[in-house]
Amino acid sequence: MTTTAVSVESLRAGEQRTAALRAEAAVEPDPVETVATVSKTQVIAIYGKGGIGKSFTLANLSYMMAQQGKRVLLIGCDPKSDTTSLLFGGRACPTIIETSARKRNAGEQVSISDVCFKRDGVFAMELGGPEVGRGCGGRGIIHGFELLEKLGFHEWGFDYVLLDFLGDVVCGGFGLPIARDMCQKVIVVGSNDLQSLYVANNVCSAVDYFRNLGGNVGVAGMVINKDDGTGEAAAFAAAAGIPVLSAIPAHDEIRRKSANYEIIGRPGNTWAPLFEQLATQVAEAPPVRPRPLSQDALLGLFKGDAVGRGVVLDPATLDDMCGGLQKLAKPSLEVHYDPS
C-alpha cells in the first residue's frame, strides 16, 4: 500500500470518528429528576432535661408504633444508658461502647446481635458512654455513631429511628443530629418548670443556629410530661412557634407503673389513646424553624413569686471585692521604657 493510500485511509477513519462523536453529542440527555427525594426512614432526635421523662416517653411511643405495624429502632444516646431500661423491664442493655471495647481487646468484630435487642417488634440499642472522669460523653456519642455506620446504619430498613439525647448539653456529640443533618426533625420533652424549659429553649436555639448556617433540621414540637395544668410549657411552645404534640398528665398510676418498668402505651389499655395520638403526631408533624426566647422572655412565662421581680443589678466595685481593705494604692508592675 502506497503512502498516499495510507493517508487517504487515515483521513477517512478520522472523519468517521468525528461523525460518531457528533452523533453522540447530538443525543439529548436524560431529563432531570424533578420529584423530591424522600427518605423512607424518619430519623427523629428527642431532647430534654435529664430526668424529665424522655426514656419513659420513648419506650411507650416506640412500643405503640411497633404495635401499629411500624418498624421502629430506638437508640439511647444518653451516657446513663437508661433509654431501653423501661422497654426491657428494668434489664440493662449492653452498650455499643463497652461492647466495642471488649471485642476489640479480644481481637473480635462487633456484630448486630451483640448490640441490638428486640421486644414485641421494637428494636433497641444503647450507645453508652465513658466511666465518670475517664472520657468525654460527646466523643463517646460520635464514636458510637461511627460504629453504627460500619454496621450499615444507612442501609437498615426502618420506618422510624428514634434517638434519645441528653438535652442539658447540645454541643459536640450531643448536638450531632442537628449539626450534621443526621435527623429530619427534633422533638423536645419538657414540663411546667423553668429548668426543663430552659433546656428546651437551648435546643431550639441550636436548631435555629444551624438553620442560619444552611442546616435543614427543624423542631416538630413539644411533648409536655408530668403536666399539672399550670400552662407554662404550653405558653413556651406557643412563644417559640412549635406545636404541643401531647400532654402526658402527672397521674399517680403513670408514675407507679413507670417506676415498676411497665409499658403503659399498649393498645387497648387506659392510656392507649394518648400514645396513639402521639404516634400520629410524631409521624405527621412537619419540622419547623423555632423562635428561641431570650432569658427574660423565658423567665416571663412564670409568676413573680416563682422567679422574683423588681430586682436591680447593682454593680460591684473592687473595694467590695476586697472586703473594704483596698485603701492604699499599690505600685504598678507595668514597665515604662525611656523613649530616648
Alpha-carbon torsion angle 56, 62, 67, 70, nearest 10: 170
For residue 77, how many other CB atoms are within 10 A of its CB? 26
Block residue for cell numbers 430506638: 74
Q: Which residues of 10-49 are buried (b: 16+ CB within 10 A; e: fewer)?
A: eeeeeeeeeeeeeeeeeeeeeeeeeeeeeeebbbbbbbbb
C-alpha cell at 268: 387497648
Alpha-carbon torsion (91, 94, 97, 98), positive or negative: positive
- Active-site residue, from 164, 168, 208, 227: 168
Specify the residue for cell string 461523525: 19
Catalytic residue check, 168 = yes
Strand pairing report for 122-126 and 117-119: antiparallel
Cα Rg of the chain, angstroms: 29
Active site residue 80: yes
Scored b (16 or more CB within 10 A) or e, 187-200 reads bbbbbbbbebbbbb
Q: Which three cell numbers stand for residue 243?
A: 406545636
| Alpha carbons 34 and 328: distance in angstroms, whole number | 78
How many helices (H) and strands (E) the chain has is answered by: 13, 8
Task: Confirm whether 208 is a catalytic residue.
Answer: no
189 DSSP β-pair partners: 48, 223
Q: Which residues are catalytic?
A: 49, 54, 80, 168
